[in-house]
Structure formats: structure tokens, C-alpha cells
Structure 1
Amino acid sequence: MRAGYRIASWAIALAVGLGGMAAASANPPERQEREALRVCADGNNLPFSNQAGEGFENRIAELMAEDLGVPLTYVWSPQVMGFVRNTLELRVCDVMIGAVAGYGFVQNTNAYYRSVYALVVPEDSELEVAGLGDPSLAGRRIGVVAETPPLVPLRRMGARVEGYPLMVDTRMRAPVRDAIEDVATGKTDGAVLWGPLAGYYASRQDPPLKVVPLVDDDTGTPLDYRITMGIRHGEVHWKDWINAFIERHQEEIDAILAEYHVPLLDRHGRLFDPQGEGGGS
């Protein structure tokens, strides 16, 4: 990974995968007519997407296709290094439903949600922290994905870090699911994971695990990210349409995300309930 996008890649790798270099040559003219909504996606990457259509990005893609009045099709590819190069840049698909804001290998739309890393612990855990600078983390075995933002402050506080790999083929491994199961079985005391992953997998344990979004962290570590849709550079009209779609359907998008237990932040960086007042990214 290049140093210039390392911070962004931490969130992307968990939320939407890593892309390749943008094409050096000039883009051909933007397509004006769309016979289908062609989505670039990972076929085995819940809670985001899978080939059975069970992820929240699948649900949002269905909403987009309905709004466009065209069929929905997918190009499936593991979201590892080269994902953008092998999908968007080859022009075999036209949008990736999740891309962290500022990710330079795509043109970002407006954000359609904002989330934050979260601590996952058993419901009866005595470990109660508001941020990664809490001294009670010292000596605790805490799961964290390699090279993600929580790693450094956890080590600084003396936590016994249990590492899980960042770059994996999702057809073969599910390190975040492993991290959650290790909390459930008591192998670790907790795990600090990207919010959408933490909320989804914690809710599927029996009994469910407790998810503590780290909105009050004061270590200066970048833990919350705005998530956009990613398209090719230069496609101005397509970006305008997607931005208008997000604005029209923000409440429906929020409701979908809430079904998957995604911790959602408002524009001020505070947690909000889509069923309550306000909302949006």
C-alpha cells in the first residue's frame, strides 16, 4: 500500500476492499444511457454484499436499480488489491456501493453513511471503556485487524493484542468473524473492529455481544469514516444522479443500515437512531 492512502485504506479494507491504480489513459466519454445498473461487488463479504443478495449494499443496489428503472447486474470480484483495476477501470461495471470518502482510486459521491470503530465485549463484561486511551485496557487480550487504526493506541495502553489479517480473499477466510467468535468463546476479552462489521457479527452470536461505538475516543486516532459510492473519474452526470438518489432515499438507506446493526453517526459525529428525529450522514 502507498503511504498516501494508508489511513483511508484501513477503513476501506474492512468496509469495501482495496483497489488498484487508476488507468493512466484518458477516460472515454461518459455513458448517457444505462441498460442495467452494473455493480462491482465482492460475492462473499457480509454484511456488505454476497452473491445471494443478503448484504446491505445488495439492498441499496436494489433500491438504486428500481429508481433507475433498469435491471440489476453484478460483477463479482474479491475485494483485495486490484479490485478497482479489475472492475471499474475495465468498465465491466459502473459503481461500487461502498468506498471511503477521499479514496483516490475512484470518484467519490456524497457520503450515504458515517460509522465508527467499536469495542465488542460479552454482555456481562466488566470492561467498560469510552475510548482507546482507557487504562483498563492494559493487560487485556483485545482482538484487532492488522494495520487498522486501533492497533497503535491499543499497544500504547498495554493491551495484549490478538491480531487478525487485513488482506484476505473473502472466499477463503473471514478474520472479523473469527475475531468476534473469539470474544464469544472467551479466547479474547474484546475486539475493536470497524462498526458495520462489529454490529453485524456481534448481533449474530447467541447470546448477542455488546457493541460500544468509540465516539468518545480522545486519543486522536481516526476512528470514524464517511462512506460514499465509488465511480470512475470524469463521470459527472453519473455522480450527480447518485447524489440525487442518496438525497431522495436517505431515510430508506438509514433504515436498511439499522437492520444490519450498523452504528450510525450524524453530521456532528454523534450516534443517532434512524427511528428517531434527524438522521443522514
Structure 2
Amino acid sequence: MNNIHIRVRTLLSLAAGVALSFQATVLSAAEPLRVCAAKDEMPYSNAAGEGFENRLAERVAELLGRPLEIVQSDRAAIYHVQEYLNAGKCDVIMGLDSTDPRVLTTKPYYRASYFFVVKRDGGPDIHDWNPEAWQKINKVAFAQGSPAEAMIREVGLFERNLSYIYSLIGFKPKRNEYIRFQPSRLISEVSSGVADVAIVWGPEAAPYIAQSTVPLEMRPVPDGTWQGNPILFQYEQSMGVRTGNEALRDALNQLIATHGPALRQELVDLGIPVTDPDAARVAAAPH
């Protein structure tokens, strides 16, 4: 008798949950999913909707059963949390570090890495942070403020590359202003032979590596240590929503749990090198 009562209560609870879920879906389906996107920050996004985050946004909105509204910005994505998401102008940012404290992040849906990029033929033998190998390097193309800067300092190449690095942004002063190191420029520095190696974030550089007429090779960058501090080169990526919007965060988490592999495959099909964050975590766990 007790077992019957438990099963009946369970079935009633499940039915109620389905009803609530259906009601929430009906209520939210009419509302557009507003996604922040920069007008000119390829390969992430552009005004024509050609970036990989544009494509992801389309797919996520479709899976949620909501119309998509891309909230385009003349400002770089680095400003979107404060000026758009937290200001209520959009609801979702498609790619943020999973540990970003400014927002509610979803569970990670892909993991990505920085890469050393060298010429496939005759490129330097750089695979790690061995200082001896780095002393044979003349010019290194990287973005200031990225993890690469700390390790270039560690291997003793920062000072002699400083003028060259500033040349990559036209010697523009960076004081109180964000200036992007264009991934296409970093890659062209290697293909043209100006730089011996570039250190780049895989998702933003891979499309330009594929377009290069000079064969290039990508090598994953291992983590390093600078002044006793760990410097990481692999990061899990999540979608971000406003603090307090647990309902949307939870809906996106459910979507990722069900469709995460398909979203990652979509990125891979677009030439974006990503991996399964859950698999990477299991592989890294002590056995």
C-alpha cells in the first residue's frame, strides 16, 4: 500500500512538474532571446551574423523555442557585461570564462586552449616553456594582457619584443582604452615570416590559420609558472546571464545537458577547436 501511495505521489509530482515546465515554456516562447554581440569582432560576431557565436545564438534560441534578437554593439565584447547585460539591454552572452564572477554562468559547454602557431615547414621547435628553446626565438606575436605575456616575461623575451608588440596595434596608447590585438594580424605575422611564433586563443585564431596560404601548425600551449604563480592556457567556456536570472540560467543548463555535444560539434564543423569540458575534467582527475 505504501509503495502504491509513493508511486502515485511521484506520478502526481511529475505531472505537476511537466505542467509547470510547459507553462513556463509557453510564457517565455513569445519573448525573444536577446543575445549581446559586437558588430565587428570576428570570428565571434559581426553585423552580418557570420561569426561562430552568431551561429551558436541561432541554434540556442531555436532549441529554446524562442525568437532570437541579436543586440548589436559598436563596442567590443569586453564591455558587454557592464554596458549591455547588467544594464538590461540583453539577456545572454554566448562565451565567457566559466569562473567569471560578474555574471551567472551556465555549466561549461566547451573547453578551449591557447596555441603556439608556427610555420609547418621550417618552424621553430617550440612545444613548451623550455627557456633554452625560447632563446633561439627572435619575434613572438601575442596579445598583451593575455596569459602569454606572463610566460614571455618568464622566458626572458618580453623586453626585446616590447617595441614589436606595440607595432601590432599601431603604437596606439592603451591608457584607459581597450585596443584589440587582431587575431588575423597575429597569424599573418607568422605566415609572412616576421614573427617566429604566435601565441593565440584557439577559437579566435583557428579560422585565420585555415585561410593562410602558407601552411601553419597549431600546438597546444601547456600551462606554465611565472614568479611562482600558475599560468593557465586552457579555459572552460560558458554562457552568461544577469545575476538574479536563475530561470534563464537553469533553462540554458538543461539545454547544455541535452544538446552540449551537438553545440560543440557545430563549433568543430565551423573550424573552431574545442573539446568536451567534462571529459577533460575526468581525464585530469587523480586515479
Q: Deviations over 1:22-70 (max 9, x none)?
A: xxxxxxxxxx635111101112112211121211111111111111222
Partner SS state of residue 243, structure 2: coil
Of residues 102, 106, 122, the one that matches 2:103 is: 106
Of residues 60, 84, 97, the one that matches 2:81 is: 84
Q: Are 1:131 and 2:128 matched, yes or no? A: yes
Q: Deviations over 1:137-169 (max 9, x none)?
A: 214111110111111222322335342458646
Q: Which letter does structure 2 place at the counterpart of 1:157?
A: V
Taking only aligned residues, the RMSD between alpha carbons, in angstroms, comes to: 2.4
Deviation for aligned residue 1:134 = 4.8
Counterpart Cα distance in 1 of 2:83 and 2:101: 16
Partner SS state of residue 62, structure 1: helix
Q: Are 1:205 and 2:202 matched, yes or no? A: no
Deviation for aligned residue 1:269 = 3.9
Q: Deviations over 1:106-135 (max 9, x none)?
A: 111111111111101111133122222352
Give the 3 Å change call, closer, same or farther, for CA 80–35 of structure 1 in structure 2: closer
Partner of 2:188: 181
Of residues 59, 63, 81, the one that matches 2:59 is: 63
Counterpart Cα distance in 2 of 1:110 and 1:186: 40
Q: Which letter does structure 1 place at the counterpart of 2:274?
A: L
Partner of 1:252: 262
Q: Which letter does structure 2 place at the counterpart of 1:75?
A: V
Counterpart Cα distance in 1 of 2:267 and 2:136: 34
Q: How many residues get paired?
A: 236
Give 1 or 2: higher helix fraction.
2
Deviation for aligned residue 1:268 = 5.5
Counterpart Cα distance in 2 of 1:153 and 1:233: 34
Partner of 1:149: 147
Verify the 8 A CA contact 1:120 1:209 in the aligned structure 2.
yes
Partner of 2:23: none
Identity %: 32
The TM-score normalised by the length of structure 2 is 0.75
- Structure 1 residue runs without a partner (length 5+): 1-31, 273-281
Q: Deviations over 1:158-184 (max 9, x none)?
A: 335342458646xxx652211111111
